[in-house]
Amino acid sequence: MKALQITGYGDLKAHLAINEVEKPSVSEHQVLIEIYAASTNPIDYKIVEGALKQVIKLKFPAPIGFDVAGVVVAKGQSVTHLEIGDEIFSRVPSNAPGTFAEYIAIDSDVVIKKPANIDFAAAASIPLVGLTTVQCFDKARLKAGDKVLIHAGSGGVGTFAIQYAKAKGAYVYTTTSTKNVEWVKELGADRVIDYKTENYAAIAKDLDIVYDTLGGDYTLEAFKVIKKGGTVVSIAGDLDEFTAKDLGLNKLIRLLLALKRRKITRQAKAKTAHYYFVLMDPNASQLADIKTLIERQLIKPVIDKVYPLSNAVEALLHQKSGHAKGKIVIGMKA
């Protein structure tokens, strides 16, 4: 079968190749999925470029891709909740990437039937960004009536997060640039802030939750707009101590991270606010809740472009541009 493989760390064009590899077979708890669509995420190009070397160690050639939608074509004898022919979607386990390929064999625990009302491309666009958002808002204890700021509302995470927070009854502020303002409004955000012409910190104030999808200065700035006792939950800023420990980072690295984070820690204390970094995990029960929201049409996937597998590198370069409008999909049969 054909699979995109990482051949070494560095530049995307030079270190990715579509190779002919052996079609996997299933073990007792696994399903073999014929992949109809996969979606890209920033983590994919970051892995190739070596930005996550400390935590994700690769043996080359290495597989790539975490989001999948497809059809079950074989299953191990212990798999009871799925049948051959089922149309599924999943965020595959971090130690088993490889969805930019024609087939993947993965643990059935993280695989569920896809929403019936969307196609494979749309289904593949959801798991990673959806689970990340659910886990972040769970951590921040989102409740109806909360005032929430979601940065980068036009991105893969943002387009899902706006709709999810609205479905949970929040008042949603979001940021994007001029060209995206009108269509992002249609996702339901109460106030879309044009970061090219407006200062978000002068508009979104006294917030219960900031969902920091940008990192850098935005993480620290979040404490200016959060109310006392509020929560800044980041997926792109500095690791918190809990996540650093969870990743198995040694004491010296954790100390360096604590030093790097010291302004955040100080600001959080001054505001009696919470700061969390969330590293998403595959989770079938949360994915089932997301599926229900999609079937109730409370969340609609937003797709920027579908690329064939043969143009997967182009898809990743598009993702790396930092200006995707929703999700980028790689279609094998979609």
Ligand X SMILES: NC(=O)c1ccc[n+]([C@@H]2O[C@H](COP(=O)([O-])OP(=O)(O)OC[C@H]3O[C@@H](n4cnc5c(N)ncnc54)[C@H](OP(=O)(O)O)[C@@H]3O)[C@@H](O)[C@H]2O)c1
Considering only 39, 90, 132, 286, the residue that binds ligand X (CB under 6 A) is 132
At residue 44, the 3 state secondary structure works out as: helix
269 CB burial (10 A radius; 0-12, 13-18, 19+): exposed
Q: Does residue 151 bind ligand X (CB under 6 A)?
A: yes
Query: From the CB of 188, what's the least distance to ligand X, in Å?
Result: 16
> Which residues neighbour 79 within 8 Å (Cβ) at sequence distance 6 or greater?
29, 30, 31, 108
Q: Does residue 213 bind ligand X (CB under 6 A)?
A: yes
Query: How far are the Cα atoms of 81, 90, 93, 149, 193 from residue 109, in angstroms, in the given order?
Result: 9, 10, 10, 33, 40
Q: Does residue 247 bind ligand X (CB under 6 A)?
A: no
Considering only 2, 185, 274, 323, the residue that binds ligand X (CB under 6 A) is 323
Of the two residues 72 and 129, which places its CB atom closer to ligand X in the complex?
129
Q: Does residue 235 bind ligand X (CB under 6 A)?
A: yes
Distance CA 194, CA 174 (A): 9
Of the two residues 71 and 225, which places its CB atom closer to ligand X in the complex?
225
Q: Which long-range contacts (CB under 8 A, 24 or more apart) does 220-226 make?
A: 220/263, 220/264, 220/267, 222/149, 223/264, 223/267, 223/268, 223/270, 223/271, 223/273, 225/149, 225/200, 225/201, 226/271, 226/273
Q: Does residue 175 bind ligand X (CB under 6 A)?
A: yes
- Residues contacting ligand X: total by CB under 6 A: 30
Draw the binding track, 252-291, toward ligand X (x: CB under 6 A; -: no contact). --------------------------xxx-----------
Query: From the CB of 322, what's the least distance to ligand X, in Å?
Result: 5
Q: Does residue 130 bind ligand X (CB under 6 A)?
A: no
Q: Does residue 195 bind ligand X (CB under 6 A)?
A: yes
Of the two residues 229 and 322, which places its CB atom closer to ligand X in the complex?
322
333 CB burial (10 A radius; 0-12, 13-18, 19+): middle
Query: From the CB of 155, what's the least distance to ligand X, in Å?
Result: 3
Residues that bind ligand X (CB under 6 A): 41-43, 128-129, 132, 151-152, 154-158, 175-177, 180, 195, 213-214, 235-236, 278-280, 319, 322-325
